Amino acid sequence: MKPALIVHGGAWDIPEELTDACKNGCQRALAAGWSTLSRGGHALDAIEAAIIVLEDDPVFDAGYGSHLNLDGRVECDAIVMNGATLHAGAVSTLHGMKNPIRVARAILENCPHMMLVAEGAERFAREQGIALCNPEDLISETEREAWLKCRLDKHAAEHHRGHEQGTVGAVAIDQNGNLFAATSTGGTCCKLPGRVGDSPLIGCGCYADSEAGGVSCTGYGEAIMKIVMAKTAVDFLRQSVVCVDSPHGASCEPSSAQLAAREAVHLLAKRTHATGGLILLDRHGNPGFAFNTPRMAYGYVALDGNFVTAV
Ligand code: GLY
């Protein structure tokens, strides 16, 4: 089949002056993933390559440039999921890890468990030959300044919107039909140490099922968890999409990737009054995306092979 790839750099109130940087980041992530997929490579290699580009880019909230927690430390979460086996590898509250997606992949491939956190995840990473870095090396000046402001605000949690930035994600299908989805994040600014958001939780920040499609979410984790948004979107793909507002849940339109994405975000707004977004590929590789934030950074490879990016 024809390979497919979609990426995102988060749904938030992206200021005008950052739109080019966000677009460029998505473009480079697509290029990294597509160089593998277009040569017949595996979707897992492609998705890891795409996420590493996004984690390394300080304009996004993942890896280097992540938001800082209340103690002023970077604490990262990541997940990657295999749509064929429904197996996932996830990590949470990682310190000193430049590319958390690499640890998530190592868990997916080499661990009897699906999720490791904190010291246990760091020990597993070392055993897998993935080096830790100095945690200070993950802190960007922009984020240190944002943290200083956030820390002075006693109601930082309620005002998290002012400190939002983009979680990153990707979904890929290779020529053999292997489908993978992945999400990586530094979480919310001034989060309590030990806080786990939606991103590394299977079904919340990420889900993949080769029978339906793959999803990566972005937005306010505490709300996304309430509606298990990634799995909900995959279920919308699997069935004909149910209109959230239609009487007695009657079917609206025949299922389509774009409709499933919109309905999942619609449900987020309706049931939690929160903001967020998602990207997805249906099992045929059709892209879908939706958000109810002012902007979302995303990109996908169109049918003609051109990269489409938008903010
Ligand atoms: N969606 C990222 C987080 O809330 O952690």
**3-class SS string, 209-276:** ECCCEEEEEEECHHHHHHCCHHHHHHHHHHCCCECCCCHHHCECCCCCHHHHHHHHHHHHHHHHCCCE
Rg (CA), the chain: 18
Q: What is the rounded distance in angstroms from the CA atom of residue 120 to the CA atom of residue 301?
A: 37
* Six token digits for residue 205: 């920040």
Using the atom order of ligand 1, give the atom closest to the CA of residue 187.
Answer: 5
46-81 confidence digits (pLDDT tens): 999 999 999 999 999 999 999 999 999 999 999 999
Confidence of residue 245 (pLDDT cuts 50, 70, 90): low
How confident is the prediction for the chain on average, in pLDDT? 92
Among 68, 167, 189, 229, say which to mutate for ligand 1: greatest number of ligand atoms within 8 Å of CB: 167
Q: Which of 100, 75, 60 is nearest to 195 (CA)?
A: 75
Is 167 tagged catalytic?
A: yes
Sequence-separated (6 or more) residues with CB below 8 Å from residue 283: 173, 179, 210, 211, 212, 213, 237
248 half-sphere exposure, CB direction, 13 A CA radius: 1
Using the atom order of ligand 1, give the atom closest to the CA of residue 205.
Answer: 1
CA of 10 to the centre of ligand 1 (A): 10
Task: Determine which of 2-6, 206-210, 245-249 has the lowest per-residue pLDDT on average.
Answer: 245-249
- Residue whose Cα lies nearest atom 5 of ligand 1: it is 187
Question: What is the mean predicted confidence (pLDDT) over 127-149?
Answer: 94
Q: What is the rounded distance in angstroms from the CA atom of residue 283 to the CA atom of residue 304?
A: 19
CA of 21 to the centre of ligand 1 (A): 21
Q: Is 2 helix (H, G, I), strand (E, B) or coil?
A: coil
Q: Looking at the 3D structure of the chain, how many domains does it have?
A: 1
pLDDT over 70, % of the chain: 91
User: Which one is catalytic: 36, 167, 185, 309?
Assistant: 167
Confidence of residue 166 (pLDDT cuts 50, 70, 90): confident
Q: What is the rounded distance in angstroms from the CA atom of residue 213 to the CA atom of residue 193?
A: 33
* Six token digits for residue 216: 């990566």
Pocket of ligand 1 (CB under 6 A): 167, 185, 187-188, 197-199, 218-221
CATH number at 240 reads 3.60.20.30
Among 188, 204, 275, 292, say which to mutate for ligand 1: greatest number of ligand atoms within 8 Å of CB: 188
Question: What is the mean predicted confidence (pLDDT) over 16-25?
Answer: 96
CA of 37 to the centre of ligand 1 (A): 28
CA of 35 to the centre of ligand 1 (A): 29
CA of 221 to the centre of ligand 1 (A): 4
- Residue whose Cα lies nearest atom 4 of ligand 1: it is 221
Residue 146 belongs to domain spanning: 4-310
- The amino acid occupying position 90 is A
270-283 confidence digits (pLDDT tens): 999 999 999 999 99
Using the atom order of ligand 1, give the atom closest to the CA of residue 221.
Answer: 4
Task: Determine which of 141-155, 244-258, 266-280 has the lowest per-residue pLDDT on average.
Answer: 244-258
Query: 248 or 197: whose pLDDT is higher?
Result: 197
* Six token digits for residue 237: 């793909």
On the question of pLDDT at 198 being above 80, the answer is yes
- What is the CA 274 to chain-centroid distance, rounded? 17
Question: What is the mean predicted confidence (pLDDT) over 118-125?
Answer: 97
SS3 readout for 44-79 = HHHHHHHHHHHHHCCCCCCCCCCCECCCCCECEEEE
Using the atom order of ligand 1, give the atom closest to the CA of residue 219.
Answer: 1
Q: What is the rounded distance in angstroms from the CA atom of residue 3 to the CA atom of residue 45?
A: 13
Among 199, 222, 279, say which to mutate for ligand 1: greatest number of ligand atoms within 8 Å of CB: 199
Confidence of residue 239 (pLDDT cuts 50, 70, 90): confident
Using the atom order of ligand 1, give the atom closest to the CA of residue 195.
Answer: 5
On the question of pLDDT at 308 being above 50, the answer is yes
CA of 183 to the centre of ligand 1 (A): 10
